[in-house]
Structure 1
């Protein structure tokens, strides 16, 4: 469904890259207005765009954002985005740098993702990431893939 918006994804990525290179990204990400700044648009490109070049460029930009705590937890969202990309690109051809948008079938997509609450019994900050997939196609049942990630700071 999102393949028709490759130009829009490119525009989002160009704007985010411009802002990161020409503005104080730390101030943009954590302003008094609690604006999510660049994190949300980059997250959207990584998790919704199938073009490997653009999604990996957005993921690299997410990794360069300041990892301070704020309304959105940069490290947790970046690690969850990495999991989504790894799931969708797990079958890519060896030696191929990026997966093109037409190489990820609809049944190989992560349709949505989210987090469980923090595991307070863990000595490190553990979050469980849930990804909803339909491995048997659009007529199949939903399945949930769970991964636990450890983050270095206390998520919001």
Structure 2
């Protein structure tokens, strides 16, 4: 008998906890007008974000494949074939970092902007030297193309 009572109380406690721990509805009642208001409770406040778009150009021409990142986060995107991009950013603003091989990296700070256009400047010092390394042997008759010999 004692075991059955303990088991029943335990089952009631578990059902009670499950019932009231998973609810997302808040009940409110006005006593004077006798209205019952049922409202959904929010599960936490999500930070507001909005899209920023723009174009990345160099010498008036669009640059495809430019990396666009939000500084300090892992959010980012790349520009399309027409140099345009769109990225969702937080409401409190931040800094966009634009980088591309052979160009100077630029940072643009924004605050509630909807369009950020950037013109990247070529960085001639970033591409110092190119070294071509090749291994193998072929006779000149097997090669179709230009051949130069270095001794």
Q: TM-score, normalised by structure 1?
A: 0.22
Higher strand share: 2
Of Structure 1 and Structure 2, which has the larger fraction of its residues in helix?
1
TM-score, normalised via structure 2 length: 0.23
Larger radius of gyration: 2
